Every structure is written in C-alpha cells, then in structure tokens.
Amino acid sequence: MRVDEDGNVNVRYCEGESGWVKPLGEGRYKILNTPMTSGLRWGDIVSVIDSDDGRPIVHEVLERKMENGGTLSYDTLEDWAMIIAKFESRYKRWEDFALEGLFAPCAGTPGLAAISYTENVDVSIIIRDLPGVRFKTEEEALDEDESESES
C-alpha cells in the first residue's frame, strides 16, 4: 500500500485510474481528487477493499459530497485560466465545486478537466462566454460511450 507523507492512501478507482484518499477511521476514506471514473467525485466518503496487488480499490460510496460530475474540454491554457477565474468569482471552491485539470491542450488535442459540483452550480453560466470550452455531464459522457460501443 502506498501512503504519502500526510498519511493519505493511494487507491484504485477503477481499472486504469488511481488517486488519493484520506483515512477517516472506521473503514471510511475521503476522495482527495476529482476522478474521471463515473460515479465518484471529489470529497465523497467511500469504503475500500483489498486487492491482490496491495493497492486498495474503492468499493462503495458511503456519503456524497457533491451531487454532480462532468468534464470540461478547452482549447487553450487561457481558456483554462478563465474557467477557474469564472468559477471562483461565483462559487466557493471545495464547497460548491472541485475542478482538476487532467491534460493540457497539445498539438490540436483539447485540454481536459474533471469537475465535481453541487446543485447550486450552473456550469452553463460559467462557460457560455467561452467559445473554446465544452462541457459534458457525467450522464452525457456515459450515453456517448454506450452509443460508441453499440456501433
């Protein structure tokens, strides 16, 4: 098991994605990143199970911190800076939303960020004046993945 200097534990969210959780005691852990994995969000309280390779796997969401999740893609680093500035001017980071950049735009491929947010947050207001930014809810991304796998 990998543990950082603050006692946080590296876990697997799903096959191919891992991140960090903070042990809370009694088998409860708080997610410290904004996972791309469907159904997991920043701040969720989860349980974990052991795996054969020693890295715990998230098993179940015990408490939900933020009701919604999605992804933002953006064309330039300036778009990324504007996304952050607009969210922070309107909402409280880590209370109303959590935003984590995953990939910077490069060679024509857009940048990608994961977002977790509460019902108070209206993402469409934030991005409506940013033509280089696109948003997909978690549900839209799942629908798209299912459509691609059917064809």
- DSSP summary character for residue 47: E
- Tens digit of each residue's pLDDT, the chain (151 residues): 888 999 999 999 988 889 999 999 999 999 998 887 778 999 999 999 988 888 899 999 999 999 999 999 999 999 999 999 999 999 999 999 999 877 889 998 999 999 999 999 999 999 998 999 999 998 887 766 566 666 6
Alpha helix ranges (H) inside 100-137? 123-127
- What was the pLDDT predicted at 16? 85
Give pTM, 2 decimals. Answer: 0.81
* Tally of residues, the chain: 151
Contact (Cβ atoms closer than 8 angstroms) between residue 62 and residue 46: yes
Domain residue extents for the chain:
9-63, 68-150
Say which CATH topology domain 68-150 has: Alpha-Beta Plaits (3.30.70)
Do residues 46 and 65 lie in contact, with contact meaning Cβ atoms separated by under 8 Å?
A: no
